[in-house]
Structure formats: C-alpha cells, structure tokens
Structure 1
Amino acid sequence: MYVRSFQLSDYVPATELLGTVLSDDCYEQTMLAFGRQLSWDSDLVLVAVEQDDIVGMIIGTIDNNKGYYYRVAVLPEYQRQGFGQSLIQGLKQRFEQRNVSKILITADEHNEKVLPLYEKLGYVATDFFRSFQKLSIVAG
C-alpha cells in the first residue's frame, strides 16, 4: 500500500470508489467539492493504492491559511487496515509543507462516523470544523 497524489487517470476509479462508499447525498456534495478542489489545487487530493488499484482517497483544501480535511473514503474491504490513517497522515504532511496555521476536520453529517479515526490520530473536538457550508463555498 502506498499513498500518492491524485492523477488525472485516477478520475474514473476515484469516482467509482466514492460512489461505492458514500451515500447518494454525500456523493453529490463530494463530487462538487472534488471537482472544485481539482481545479484549485490537485496536490491536496491523495489516493491510497494497493496492487495498482485505488482503494481509498482523501480530499483536502486550504482556506485562509487553514488546512481542512474534507472527505476521506476507503473501500469497505480495506477499512480498518490503516489506509485511512495513511491518507490522513499524507495530507497532514502536505499541510505542514505549506505552513498552514491550523488543521481542521470538516465535521458534517457525513463525516461523523470517521471522527473517531481522527481522534485516534490525536485530533480533538476543537479541531472539528462544523459548518453547513460545503467545501465549494468555504474555499471559494
């Protein structure tokens, strides 16, 4: 398993992954944010690869010098095997390289089930950014 930057050739498998993992409502919101983030800064979209297959991805953004984890998704058969942690840590490195002032986790209704993963990695409730705004509005 390794984590790398998103490449254009990853688009179809990445969107299929999101369609498999996310609810319909979450998928629609995420696809809008995903497209905008790719147009702004594709280096903040990472994929986890296992045997040449994309099995996970994370979408982040930077706004006002703050880094935001927006959405992390891992195929069900690869969950609880460290893929999500590796994606989060990989994006954290990107944020640190860019000297963001703070890293926050977008905590919307769709991310509630992965918040314990962030807590396991040392994030606390004050790191959770709860907003009804979508990434496409926050980072615009």
Structure 2
Amino acid sequence: MSVKLALMNEEAFNQYYNNAIQEYANEHVKAGNWSEEEALDKAKKQFEQLLPDGLETNDHVLFSIMYGIETVGTLWLNIRTKQHEKHGFIYDIKLDDDQRGKGYGKATMIALEEYAKSENINQISLHVFAHNERAVALYEKMGYEATSYNMSKKLS
C-alpha cells in the first residue's frame, strides 16, 4: 500500500485548522497539561503563533495524505536548518477516524521519509502524547527513538 503526500489546498487547510485546534486542546486536557476552561484558548494562541500566515507560513508544509483520489488524513511538517543540516519536525499527523487500522499510518511515514530524502532533510522528529499508545507503537516500529520524557505525578 502506498499513499501520496499532496500539498494541502486552502479549503482543506481551513477545515483542518479548526478541527486541529480543538483536538490539540483535547489532547492537552487528556494529558493533564491544561484545564478544560483554558485549553481551547491556549491551543488557538499556539496555532496562531505557529501558522501566522496559514499555508504560506515559512518553513511549514501541510499535506493532504492521499490514497488514490481519496484524502485519508493530514500531515504538518516544519523544516528548519540546524548546524548546516535540515531537520523536519512533525507537528501533526492525523488519519481520518474511518481510515485508521488500514496501514495508512505506516505508508504515510514511508512517504514522509521519501519526501524528506528528496528535500535533503537529515532528521525527522516528533512529539507524541504518552496516552496515544497506537501512535507510539507505530513510531517505534518505524525506527523512531525516544529522546526525552516528560513525567508527572498527580498529588491528592
């Protein structure tokens, strides 16, 4: 199975942007980082800082993940040069709910690596919430290694 990464168009971006803010807020609440009351506002502010010019924001590339002519998800990649090497950071990768468990995640990671090689990107990094066990398992299977841990303990 193979997928294609297609540059996201404005219509897809607008739909993605609004949904992603809500999902990002929810993930921070689930992880215990933010309260429900503050989450949406904090998420909006972070997205506005990261993508001030939407699709035209420098060093950010947003893709629709395509299987044939069907969009099955989205991928947001930031590309920076560090010490004369290009590094990619995955800000978001999301498959549509009805497309999960079909092998598109692995296929997307393979397509991303091919894109990275074509753009002379030397390293790809990402953040994954610890409670997202399915994603953690995929990334480990694809050869990603943990470079740090955030840990917390709830006190009563």
TMscore range, shorter length? 0.5 to 0.7
Structure 1 regions of 5+ residues with no counterpart? 132-140
Distance 2:106 2:49 in 1: 21
Query: Paired residue for 2:127?
Result: 106
By how many angstroms is 1:57 displaced?
A: 0.7
Range with greater deviation from structure 2 (50-59 or 113-122) = 50-59
Which of 137, 140, 143 pairs up with 1:116? 137
Deviations 1:72-91 (A, max 9, x none): 11122111112222332222
Give the helix-richer structure, 1 or 2. 1
Query: Paired residue for 2:51?
Result: 35
Query: Paired residue for 2:31?
Result: none
Which of 3, 6, 10 pairs up with 2:5? 3
Distance 1:16 1:110 in 2: 23
Deviations 1:29-78 (A, max 9, x none): 67446625731145x32112357553311111122222112211112211
TM-score (norm 1): 0.65
Which of 91, 109, 118 pairs up with 1:88? 109
Answer whether contact 1:61 1:68 (CA < 8 A) is retained: yes
Is residue 2:8 matched to residue 1:24?
no
Largest Rg, 1 or 2: 2
Structure 2 CA distance for partners of 1:97 and 1:50, relative to 1, 3 Å: closer
Structure 2 regions of 5+ residues with no counterpart? 28-39, 151-156
Distance 1:33 1:130 in 2: 25
Query: Over aligned residues, Cα RMSD in angstroms?
Result: 3.4
1:24-63 aligned within 5 A: 24-26=25-27, 28=43, 31-32=47-48, 35-36=51-52, 38=55, 39-42=57-60, 44-49=61-66, 54-63=71-80
